[in-house]
Amino acid sequence: MPKISRRGFLKGAVAVGAMPLLAAADEKSAKTDAKSLKFMHITDSHMDLSDSDSVEAMKLAVEFINANYPDLDFVLFGGDNFNNNVAGDKDAVAFKNIAQKLTMPYYSVRGNKESSPKGDDEINLAEFQKMFVNGRGLKISGKDWLLEAKGYNILGLDSCIEHQNNGRYTEETLAFAEKTLKNSKLTVILNHHPYTNYWGGTEEKDLHKYVLNNTDEAQKRLFGYKNLLLTLSGHKHIDSHSKINNVDVIVTRGFIRPKDLDMYPMRYVELSGDAINEKLIYTA
């Protein structure tokens, strides 16, 4: 049992206070709940072993989810989960040890931090997949994976370019996504780099870094499928919910950008058929 600091005490008190009230469910609502898919999207946590607050923040997130959203089907981590800036795999192992305390499964894609190690001794794609992708019941195709849950496809697409901050989908990734979408199941795409300049940036260097570099091709090939329901991205740390064609396009506020003391952001999503119920929530 770790020592409880004043900060930790406040976190616990807030978590108890935030506990959702559970109404008595009738038979109809129970059936609806059984068909719905519930998950949390956390992106850009940038956990860094040189910053103890970032480590404590991840622990707080896990405690908050376990206490307040125990019925989630899973948690999705959207990249830049840890900064991958120490020799070996120490930060990756630390992140994994914290995430494994979730009482529901979790799934991850890489961000540019995981694909751009500081030196030559940090984890690479193969090691990331070994630690966070393999052995989780996923269908794996190259850098990408597919989770089938409650009639939905959850596509984890790797938009990273090795040793670069910018991103693009490879031909293999686009082909895998197209093949998956052709099975007509409602589909959610999880990746790191956003599809649009939703924040209204004007500098070419900024747009090159943050917007998926082949977004026009990706939109042409993927966003015409009527069963593509939702995309979830991160990278820019600024929250957004927009549309491309009929697809809900969400970028979740970076977890590294708390609103106030211990108020770390994440997005709750509930899918029921093609209906999307989502909201940005905070750990306090």
Residue 238 has pLDDT above 60, yes or no: yes
Query: What average pLDDT score do residues 154-164 get?
Result: 96
**What is the pLDDT, as a whole number, of residue 118?**
67
37-282 topology per CATH: Purple Acid Phosphatase; chain A, domain 2 (3.60.21)
Quick one: CA dihedral 282, 228, 136, 38, positive or negative?
positive
Query: What average pLDDT score do residues 165-172 get?
Result: 98
Residue 77 has pLDDT above 70, yes or no: yes
Q: DSSP alpha helices (H): ranges in 74-211? A: 90-99, 112-115, 125-132, 171-181, 204-210
Between residues 87 and 245, the one the model is more confident about: 245
Whole-prediction pTM:
0.89
Percent of the chain residues past pLDDT 90, beyond the cut: 84
115-138 pLDDT, tens per residue?
986 666 789 999 999 999 999 999
The three-class DSSP label of residue 146 is strand
Which residues, in sequence order, are CB contacts of 152 under 8 Å at separation 6+? 37, 185, 186, 187, 188, 229, 271
**Which range among 27-36, 52-61, 242-251 shows the weakest confidence by mean pLDDT?**
27-36
- Write out the E strands in 218-264: 228-233, 240-244, 247-251
99-115 pLDDT, tens per residue?
999 999 999 999 999 99
Between residues 61 and 12, the one the model is more confident about: 61
What integer best gives the mean pLDDT of the chain? 90
